[in-house]
Amino acid sequence: MRRPDLLHALIGVLLPAALLLSGCGEEITHDQPLNDQTVKAAQVVAGLDMTASERDLMRGELADARDGYLDLHRLDLQPGALPNSVRPAVVFDPLQVAPDLAARVGVHGVDPRWSPAPALSRPADLNKLAYYTVGQLGTLIRTRQVSCEELTRLSLERLRRYDPELHCVVTLTAERALDRARELDAMLARGEYLGPLHGIPYGAKDLLAVAGYPTTWGAAPYRDQVIGEDAAVIRKLDDAGAVLTAKLTLGALAMGDVWFGGKTRNPWNPDQGSSGSSAGPAAAVSAGLVPFAIGTETWGSIVSPSTRCGVTGLRPTFGRVSKAGAMTLSWTMDKIGPIARTVKDCAIVFDAIRGADPADPSAVDMPFAYDPRFDARTLRVGYLKSEFDRDYRWHDLHAKALDDLRAAGFTLVPVALPDSAALGCDVYSLSIILSAEAGAAFQELVLSGRDDELVRQDRYAWPTTFRAAQFIPAVQYIQANRARVRLMRLMADVFKQVDVYVTPSFEGDNLLITNLTGHPQVVVPCGFKEPNAPHSISFVGGLYDEAEVLEVARAYQEATGWEDKHPEGYDRVQNP
C-alpha cells in the first residue's frame, strides 16, 4: 500500500493505542508478519469476538488472504486494467422480490400519451423563453416560430452570462450544439420532426461521457479525462432531437456541490450552495439556463439539489435508464433521471432516455403508461403519517401540501415504512453497501495516493469514506445485501396498500430506504418557509410505476402552481 501508516491511521480512531503496536513505537505495516496483536486489532474493527487460540489457527489463512489482496491492489494500479466502467459479475434486480411485477405495471396502457400542444405565439422578447416549459418550447419549434439555432444560442448565452455567478458549468459544448441545432432546423425544413424534444437545449451532469469533451466527474484527478464515446443517455437524447449545450457541475465524484472549480451556487440565494451532487443541473434549470438537465442519484443527489433550487426532479426505478458511459459510484444504487421545470417535462425526458441496453445488464424495458388525461384521484395515495406528524422546520409547508392534495380530490391514507423492528436491524447499517461499492470503484485513488487531490478532505468526504471502505468485511457486505432483500419484501407489502405515497423529502428513512430498494421518487416544489428559500414535497411510487407517481405529482403541481416561481435577477441577456 502507498502509506505504511494507513492501517494505523484508520484503526487508530477506533482502538486503544496498545492494540495497534506490536512493540513500543513500532508501526504496523502491510508487509510485516501477522501476530496476535494485529489480528486482534482487525478483529475489533470487524466487531468480532474470537479467542487467542482461534486467532492463532487462522493467522496463516489471513496472511495468504493478504497476499491476494496485495495482488489485487497491483491489478487495480495497472493503467486500464480495472477502469471505472468495469462492473462486478453480479447484477442488482428489483424484480427478484416480485417476479410477477411486470404483469401489473402499466395497468392503464402501455405507451405514454401527451397533452394537446398549447397554442402559442413567438414572444417579442426571446428572453421570455428562458422559463418556458419543454412542451411550450416544443410547440414553437414544431410550428417553426422559433428555430432550433435561436433557442440553442439563447441557452449558450445564458450559460456564459450566469456561470461566473453560479459556477454550474464545467464545459460548454457550443460547437457540438450549434452544429446539431442547424441540422435539426434543416430536418424541420424537410418535414422531419423527431418529437417533443426536437431542438430543445439541455445540460448533462459531468459524469456522463461525451465524445470529444472532457468528462471530469467534478474531481481534480480527472479534470483532463476524455472518454471517447457518448454515454447511452446522451445518444438517446441525440436521437430524440435534444441539443446538449453544456456539461454541468457535480460535487467531486458525486458528493455535495463542491467541485474542483469551486462551489455551485443556488440561484435563489447565491451565497448558498445549490446542494448536490446534481448541483449544476438543478442550478441551471432553476436559473433558466436550460429547460432541462440530466442528473444522477445514489442517495439524494437529485432530490436534494432539486429541493434547494426549487425545481422538479425524477429519480426513476433502478434499471429504468442505462448507466453505460456514466461514472459509477455504486453499481447497485446509481440511477439517472431528469431535472426540469415541471412534472410533465420530466415525463417527456424520461420517455426518451428509458429502456434496456446491452451495455448495461441492469437496464430493462418496462411499460411507461403516462397519460395526463388519466384521473390520478382514482389511485390509492398514502402518506407517511409518522413523518408528517413530527415537529420539524418544514412541518407547516408539508401540512399545507397534504391539505392541497385533499382539496384536489385525493383521499390520503396513512402508511408506514418498515422500521428497524420489522427489518431486524437499523436501515442505516445497510449503507455499507454504498460505501463498499464506492470504495471499490475508487480504490485506485486510495492506493495511488491521488485521493489527496480531492478538494474536500474531512470526516464525511469521499477520501475518508474510500479509505475506511477498505476495511468493510466482504461477509458483511453480502449480509447487508441479504437484509436488503428483506427490506424490499417489506416495501412490497407497503405497495399492496397504496399505489403512491407522499413523504417529506428528507424526514425519516424514506430517502435511504427507497434508494436501496430502487423505488422511483418525484420531488416537486411546495412553497417557501422564508423568502428565496424554496422547499419540496416528494411522491414515491411502486417499482417501474413512474407513470402513476408522475401523474399524482402532476396533479399536485397543477393544483398549486409552485413550479411557476423563479429566482429573480436572471433576465439580463441579449437576444440570441
If 0-12 CB within 10 Å is exposed, 13-18 middle and 19+ buried, where does residue 375 land?
Answer: exposed
Please state, as a whole number, how many other Cβ atoms lie within 10 Å of the Cβ of residue 551.
29
Buried b (16+ CB within 10 A) or exposed e, 111-124: ebebeeeeebeeee
Q: Any catalytic annotation for residue 205?
A: yes
Residue 502's DSSP bridge partners are 383, 539
Alpha helices in 190-278 (DSSP H): 232-240
Q: Which of 147, 155, 205, 505 is catalytic?
A: 205
Strands 262-263 and 258-259: antiparallel
- Helix axes 174-189 and 148-166, enclosed angle (nearest 10): 160
Beta strand residue intervals within 298-342, DSSP E: 312-315, 335-340
All three cell numbers of 307, joined, read 429541493
Q: Which residue from 155, 163, 95 is spatially nearest to 127, judged by alpha carbons?
A: 155
Question: DSSP label at 338?
Answer: E
Residue with grid cell 496485495, as numbered in its chain: 70
Q: Sign (positive/negative) of CA torsion 499, 504, 506, 509? A: negative
All three cell numbers of 489, joined, read 419484501
Q: How far apart are CA 549 and CA 557, in angstroms?
A: 12
C-alpha pair distances (Å), 39 with each of 44, 403, 434: 9, 59, 26
Q: Which of 147, 277, 322, 505 is catalytic?
A: 277
All three cell numbers of 528, joined, read 417557501
Residue with grid cell 420532426, as numbered in its chain: 193
Alpha helices in 384-531 (DSSP H): 385-388, 395-407, 420-423, 432-441, 443-448, 462-469, 474-494, 510-517
Whats the size of the chain, residue-wise?
576
**DSSP element (H, E) containing 541:** strand 533-541
**DSSP element (H, E) containing 71:** helix 52-77
Q: Which of 147, 155, 274, 301 is catalytic?
A: 301
Q: Which residue from 213, 222, 218 is spatially nearest to 84, judged by alpha carbons?
A: 222
Catalytic sites, residue numbers: 205, 277, 301
